Structure 1
Amino acid sequence: QRIKLKIEPGRDLEVVRAVRDAIGTGIDLVVDANGAYTLEDSAHLAGLDEFGLTCIEQPLAISTPDDPGGLDAHRALATRIATPICLDESLTSITRTEQALSMGACSVVCVKAPRYGSWLDAVEVLELCHRNRVGAWVGGMLDTGIGRLANIALAAHPGATATGDISATDRFFTTDICSPVTIDGGPGAGTIAVPTTAGFLGALDHASLVDHTIRLATIRL
């Protein structure tokens, strides 16, 4: 199980402290800054170390003209705080992920297949993390059922070592174009079954797809 909090300047340490006090130390706690801080905030971010966080996700800016991907800044931050750094938006390719890992800019990777360009690239990133014994988890909160099913398959990869952002369909959608993804095991269990069949089209809800179609196009090759 994992709880993830969004943080930003002015809304961070006290919020994290309150949640950690409420849940105790038996549940993983992650914070996501979405690039809200700068390297000048290093001493302040070091205040998070006392809470035993699984990681801080994307603490600094995604990119600057002098620092593509913000990798240099995150490498510097990693030497100033004990909380593991997870990169998300900074990692837009396999090459940049390799670079981030080799230079010590992060020790955890958030893998989002669309950001890498394909699910095959996402698999390669998970294999890269697995080979290098680097933590990784699969993100993708707003995907429809097709993307959600693909993310579930990715999350079953041995390289995906941490709880990801995959949720049940009804967390974000009242209806979907696929059979709904559900949480198994009853309240508090928080598990999702990995499909055992190949492909995703068997779960497609054709009636719902027709209902939600706003435009049709025919492409002849």
Structure 2
Amino acid sequence: MTRVLVVDDQFLIRAGLVGVLRAAPGVEVVGEAADGEEAVALAARTRPDVILMDIRMPGLNGIQATERILARSTTESGGPAPRILVLTTFDLDEYVYGALRAGASGFLLKDSGPERLLAAVAAVGGGDALFAPSVTRRLVEAFARQAGTGAGNGAKPPPGLAALTTREAQVLKLTARGLSNVEIADRLYISEATVKTHLNRTMTKLDLNSRAQAVVVAYETGLVTPGG
């Protein structure tokens, strides 16, 4: 059973999401929040597996709420942090980039149909491949380029990057280019389970919360360059 918290300041959108989720087998809606502050409080109380997080909300926005929820789960719960799936009206949105940078696991367009919503919840809830990796790559590339990030612009990699093995760095690069675990396994002639192991070790070494956050780090440190 995947436990889901729904966060959106617009009642009709929130109600629609809740309705779709409650009708799906294997999904339990554990709460609804209308703003970031309420989301932080409910996440601590209900400990969901997945949070559908609106970004543009009055008061505490979705990026700030994501940061607080992930920081609190790391320091207080001791268990796995919730996977946060960002809700947005368009994909090339700097707010979404900020949320991925903060540790969100992926994003979903608000005009997506019920099947795509449930597939996204299942994907991030299972800790599987990032939902819509090629679109996420396009988003990260756009804002990494716009921000002038990368090794050629004086960006310094986090200390843990030097600790990556050659294979871990290869897996991270291919992940950042939008390949799925299956595609990476095929490219490197290793098993899908081994790909997941390398990526999990990389995230631990770099103190990252999500696959999307690893993609952001790969671009911002110059390990991968936009369009490369």
Give the TM-score band, short-chain normalised.
0.3 to 0.5
TM value normalised by structure 2: 0.33
Structure of greater Rg: 1
Higher helix share: 2
